Structure 1
Amino acid sequence: MTLTPKRAQESLIQMTELVLPNDTNVYTNLMGGRLMYWMDIAAALASMKHCAAPTVTASVDNISFENPIRLGNAVHIEAKVSRAFNSSMEVHLKVWGEDPVQQYRYKSNEAFMTFVALDPNGNPRPVPPIIAETEEEKSLYEGALRRRQLRLILGGKMKPQDAEELKALFV
């Protein structure tokens, strides 16, 4: 079955949350776990939007926090499918904090998550390919295969010697 490719931009999700006292640690910074929860929701919505099916989180790549997001600030999360494989999709996320009083925006972090589309029986199902149009989308698309191979190696699902795209970087 051949699925019609879809533009990466069509999967874009933009989500905004307000950091309230219950979302913060003792330093009044947004707790990392709460941010990861919101990121997971945004990425799930982007993946479902792309494949028009329920999806589940398969993996979360490294999440590094560049800047804390403070109590009372807004959190802006942008999620978009960067590449689709057979039944899985890599979703790229960007996160910014925004101080609404001082009116400035700052980068908090960036991450990749992988989602798998499910059929009505809960089994993996095929997803449409992605069409990367912008320079950023093309760059993310090209790097996705290497990131996927690294995830598979770390998850014990691929032998390092079989990761041709990754080996090409070092040979």
Structure 2
Amino acid sequence: MTDLLETVIENREMVQPNHANMLETAHGGHVMKWMDEVGAMSAMRFSGETCVTARVDQMNFERPIAVGDTAFITAYVYEAGTSSVKVRLIAEREDLRTREREQTTESYFVYVAIDEDSSPTTVPELTVSTEEGEQLRRAALENEAE
């Protein structure tokens, strides 16, 4: 069994001009790629297996991330099935000089754990042993339905 807090992964990507669209903000495809990579890391940390993306339930782009800012991405597992792993992902725009952050994107990805033959394999049970973990899980389940 793996505890929810053990699945938390955070990562930063500096938004460079080659990541930008014509508005000089991060192209949505780059943000989605960064989120997918961090989400897969969270799913693999949870399952102890290689995980592949099976579904993106929603991708809400709320505000842009400007060139020169960083995309601060947080992922954590909030639910698991037999071989599937649900991960909540949040991207924030971060100004490293001021440390100011604001949420820009939220999504819910489903990954499938696979074995060495690329066949689905079982994942452990997710445990939630702290109030912080329970708050994260509740937030994911509440916002997933929106």
Q: Secondary structure at the match of 1:9?
A: helix
Cα distance in 1 between the residues matched to 2:137 and 2:53: 23
Is the helix fraction higher in 1 or 2? 1
Cα distance in 1 between the residues matched to 2:139 and 2:48: 22
- State the TM-score, normalized to the length of structure 1: 0.77
Partner of 2:135: 136
Identity of aligned residues (%): 31
Partner of 1:93: 89
1:52 maps to which of 48, 54, 58: 48
Q: Secondary structure at the match of 2:115?
A: coil
- State the TM-score, normalized to the length of structure 2: 0.89
Q: Report if aligned partners of 1:68, 1:108 keep a CA contact under 8 Å in 2.
A: yes
Cα distance in 1 between the residues matched to 2:140 and 2:28: 27
Q: Report if aligned partners of 1:77, 1:93 keep a CA contact under 8 Å in 2.
A: yes
How many matched pairs?
Answer: 142
The 5 Å alignment of 1:120-131 reads 120-131=116-127
**For 1:35-84, what per-residue CA distance to the aligned partner results, in whole angstroms no more than 9, with x for missing partners?**
00000100010011111111110000111111100000011000111111
Q: Report if aligned partners of 2:88, 2:140 keep a CA contact under 8 Å in 1.
A: no
Q: Which has more radius of gyration? A: 1
Gaps of 5+ in 1: 148-171
Structure with more contact order per residue of length (Cα contacts < 8 Å, sep ≥ 6): 2
Is the strand fraction higher in 1 or 2? 2
Cα distance in 2 between the residues matched to 1:96 and 1:34: 14
